[in-house]
Structure 1
Amino acid sequence: MGNDRTAGTGHAVIAGAGIAGLLAARVLAGPYERVTVVERDALPAGAGPRRGVPQGHHAHGLLAKGFELLDELFPGLTQDLVAEGALVRDAQADVRWFNDGHLLKPAAGDLPCLLVSRPGLERYLRSRVATLPGVEFHDRCEVLEPVADHTGGRVTGVRVLRVNSEPRLLGSDLFVDATGRGNRGVTWLRALGYGSAPQERVDSGLVYVSREYRRRPGDAPADAYVVGASASAPRGGVALSAEGDRWLVTLFGMGADRPPVDPDGYHRFAARLPVPDLHRLLERLEPLGPPRAMRIPVSVRRHYERLERFPEGYLVTGDALCQFNPSYGQGMTVAAGEAAALRDCLAEDAGEGLAARFFRRAARITDVPWDLSVGGDLRFPAVAGRRTPRVRALNRYVARLHRAAAVDPVVGRAFLTVAHLQEPPQRLFARDVLAGVARGGAVRGATVRGLLRPRPAGEVARARTAAPAPAADPAAGDRPRTTAAS
């Protein structure tokens, strides 16, 4: 992996045993002699959902880029998970993608995606990390606060509280906050004498309702369905095959248009999606349990890279760094990218300035998916934010691109490579894609020239006004709105 920190010395403590915490543990094992993962939940022996990850009940999408990174970090992952019932499918050939009501034209490609439940993936990663030298898990144990040295310039430990025990101090050379959406980073930094990171926020008003169904051979012509919302119909859904011969089905709506939790209402909502295919599938399936609802918290990006002061020995990753609208399916892939960035930073120098270097790299990883998700959210009238002429033009172009992708597989593949974070958004304006969109008379030259103007990274995200902070939601929950939860 290239982590050649001096002879594996020191102790790293990670708060949170979710996907981001496990990936951090993977790259810290070796560079650090000891890695302790502290988790508030009781960690299950199997693959069941747990209280601290309520989104585990809902369908999750692992984008092609994330799949690639996980297979690199955990050699043999694909074979192991397929042996346990997960599926590997091509995103263009094997998934029925509907964007703005248009079926993306299927074609053989090379964009493999992994169909597996969130609890199944987390259990597998946890089992692999647990075998790494020097790694140990402390579950039913909560990080109360990081503790700094007498200068306040370096975190030297964390105070933890285990169930039925007294608080105690764990000494550390590196502390990683991977506590997700419910993180207390602002409070912890303030107590250490530091300011909070600048934030961007957007509230799509998204609500998920999910249900499991039995999967049998011949159920459907595809192993996954993705029905994206549109500005005129701000509702959508996904149906993903998963291990255990199951379909994981998640319907989502925005604002007042929420999927009901009663079974009949759930199916009636599915009938109101922009296309009938997902509803027809549900009519043929046997449910395995009741629908489960979840209000998706506000999306928040924290710009730690902009802070002039930050303590050494302290990092932030995963949803604690940026929590995305999960309907784009970006969260796990971004967490994998951050883990790879941390690995590279450690290979260069694990000493002073690690946090600053990591946050700069993490910001570059986050820029594109954040801009894509915010730009996608601003398609919907109910989402608060300022639509600049450029944002409006981009969203009009994307709508035209979706129409072209229904008949032109080159256009469809370009969309998917961007959606799966394999290629930058500029791919959507390459000559062959513009030609495919223009063939239907869908875009005029003047519009294209305007969209191709260079722009600073993050412009789309900064084009909107900050939404007011909502009341705290105890239920914590990856291109445009097309994929399942992050």
Structure 2
Amino acid sequence: MVRAAGMSARDRHPTSGGHAVVIGAGIAGLVAAQALAESFGQVTIIERDRLPDTARPRPGVPQGHHAHALAARGLLVLEELCPGLGRRLDAAGAPPVDFCREARHHWPAGVPEPVSSDVVIRPVSRPLLEILLREHVGARPEVRIMDGHQAGDLVGDAGAVTGVEVTPRGAGGRAMTMAADLVADASGRSSHLPGRLAAIGLPPPAEQRVDARVGYASRAYHIDPAAPPPWRALFETPDAPGRTRGCFALRIERDRLLITLQGAAGDHPGAEEDDFMAFMKSLRAGLADVVAGLEPATPIHRYRRSAGHRRLYHRLPSWPDGLIVLGDATCTLNPLYAQGMTVAALQARALGTMLRERPLASPGSAAAFQRRAMRISARPWWMSALADRAWTDSSPLVRAADAYLGACQRLAVADTAMFRDLAEVSNMLTGPAVLTRPRHLARLLRPRDR
């Protein structure tokens, strides 16, 4: 099925802006299409899944069953890219939440006292966020969404990509060549781009990988709106090397409590009722008491593909014009740290900025975007990779970074300034350098605080 909003822009304005093809209708693909629609006359999104008409998980996004809290930076950028998204989330029952006042953070050293802050998140199910973005982007006259279609080989050569092969899924589907001035791969961690580059004569990119062997199990529960938990979100993160277990718990739309249990270093929660509850009871946050008597709204779903993976496309000796890659297709972050959607949104915003500066289909522009996209993901990658390596790497750098973060969390339990700074860093509103402010260093160096 092809979903389109009336007559395409190319039909109405045959010479306006050219044609961009986006592979993937997930978060990264949708925000990329939104940015491209400002400069291209037609944007076609190719999606292998049949897209649901309601907010429910789909096969191509297995993470859709698990907890997602849209980080503060991502929320700001998505609202900038898609004005009115906040109002739609409000109307759907996903209000904003003060990360320091309305969420509870269970750290090894204790639980910080709630305090008001400017760090605002949105606990929301992934399917709801995706369908709201899809409705917003799909309403643009320049955009059409072709679901149930598989993107295949690139058309072109090592110098320039001029299109992509597209095949309807199902028996008897015949491949067709879709010409494009720009192809954007936003197909996620399962991207086949390295093989497709090899087919046009380019070498595979260098890759980096880190794996804390984190696994998840999630279930939603119905809650009584007259007697909800006293918080909007609850976080208990694993802590290397001894505390392998943690959780997310989010009050999401339709009066549901979505709980994701997570275990690092291979200590994964099970999918059976007894195993799931035993894991929950082993946590410090007291979630088992919260869900006692609540009716489950979903089965238990597991997910274990959490390794961080970065493909260094920007380091290839040459890059074809007319091709870009963004989101998880180039840098997959451990979902534990809730950075992936924000990185995709920041890359889409950078894409829009570049398009206002010069045509992205012009010589060298696609390679310039790849360098910019990698700079955007660099800090989140190193922050998450350092945290993940704490489970497997005993090098001085990793030990020092892990020890310093632990010291900051211990101080933050009673120090509201450090608590707010940690909240801003984890929500990508600022960089980790704020954790070394003179005030914090002075406190951390005092014997009783150290």
TM range (shorter): over 0.9
How many residues align? The count is: 430
Q: 1:346 is matched with which residue?
A: 355
Aligned equivalents of 1:356, 1:102: Cα separation in 2: 47
Alignment of 1:360 with 2:367, yes or no, is: no
Shift in Å at residue 43 of structure 1?
A: 0.7
Equivalent residues of 2:308, 2:385 under 8 A apart: no
Please state whether the residue corresponding to 1:312 is helix, strand or coil: coil
- Aligned pairs for 1:161-240 (under 5 A) are 161-163=167-169, 164-217=172-225, 218-231=227-240, 232-240=242-250
Shift in Å at residue 428 of structure 1?
A: 0.6
Equivalent residues of 1:300, 1:322 under 8 A apart: yes
Q: 1:47 is matched with which residue?
A: 55
Runs of 4+ aligned structure 1 residues displaced above 6 Å come to: none
Equivalent residues of 1:67, 1:113 under 8 A apart: yes
Q: What TM-score do you get using the length of structure 2 for normalisation?
A: 0.93
Q: 1:389 is matched with which residue?
A: 396
Identity of matched residues, %: 39
Q: 2:104 is matched with which residue?
A: 96
Q: Which moved more, 1:48-57 or 1:286-295?
A: 286-295
Q: 2:342 is matched with which residue?
A: 333
Q: Deviations over 1:440-465 (max 9, x none)?
A: 6344xxxxxxxxxxxxxxxxxxxxxx
Q: 1:156 is matched with which residue?
A: 162
- Aligned pairs for 1:73-92 (under 5 A) are 73-92=81-100
Q: Deviations over 1:56-86 (max 9, x none)?
A: 0111121100000001111111111111111
Q: Which moved more, 1:389-398 or 1:178-187?
A: 389-398
Residue identity matched to 1:160: V
Equivalent residues of 1:20, 1:335 under 8 A apart: yes
Aligned equivalents of 1:320, 1:271: Cα separation in 2: 36
Q: Which moved more, 1:246-255 or 1:278-287?
A: 278-287
Let me know the Cα RMSD of the aligned residues: 1.5
Q: 1:323 is matched with which residue?
A: 332
Aligned equivalents of 1:111, 1:276: Cα separation in 2: 22
Shift in Å at residue 44 of structure 1?
A: 0.7
Aligned equivalents of 1:317, 1:418: Cα separation in 2: 23
Shift in Å at residue 299 of structure 1?
A: 1.4
Please state whether the residue corresponding to 1:21 is helix, strand or coil: helix
Aligned equivalents of 1:133, 1:354: Cα separation in 2: 26
Aligned equivalents of 2:204, 2:108: Cα separation in 1: 39
- Cα 1:215–1:436 change in 2 (3 A) is farther
Aligned equivalents of 2:253, 2:27: Cα separation in 1: 18
- Aligned pairs for 1:113-128 (under 5 A) are 113-128=121-136
Equivalent residues of 2:306, 2:335 under 8 A apart: no
Q: 1:64 is matched with which residue?
A: 72
Q: Deviations over 1:1-34 (max 9, x none)?
A: xxxxxx8411000110000000000000020000
- Cα 1:93–1:438 change in 2 (3 A) is farther
Shift in Å at residue 298 of structure 1?
A: 2.5
Q: Deviations over 1:121-158 (max 9, x none)?
A: 00000000111121101110000111105xx4111111
Among candidates 279, 292, 315, match of residue 301 of structure 2: 292
Please state whether the residue corresponding to 2:173 is helix, strand or coil: coil
Aligned equivalents of 2:263, 2:325: Cα separation in 1: 31
Among candidates 370, 374, 378, match of residue 385 of structure 2: 374
Q: 2:147 is matched with which residue?
A: 139
Please state whether the residue corresponding to 2:69 is helix, strand or coil: coil
Aligned equivalents of 2:195, 2:288: Cα separation in 1: 45
Q: Which has the higher contact order (CA 8 A, sep 6+)?
A: 1
Aligned equivalents of 1:255, 1:196: Cα separation in 2: 30
Equivalent residues of 2:407, 2:444 under 8 A apart: yes
Please state whether the residue corresponding to 2:228 is helix, strand or coil: coil
Among candidates 419, 430, 447, match of residue 423 of structure 1: 430
Residue identity matched to 2:67: A
Alignment of 1:310 with 2:316, yes or no, is: no
Equivalent residues of 1:8, 1:30 under 8 A apart: no
Alignment of 1:255 with 2:261, yes or no, is: no
Q: Deviations over 1:77-117 (max 9, x none)?
A: 11111111112111111100122252133211111111111
Equivalent residues of 1:411, 1:436 under 8 A apart: no
Shift in Å at residue 394 of structure 1?
A: 1.8
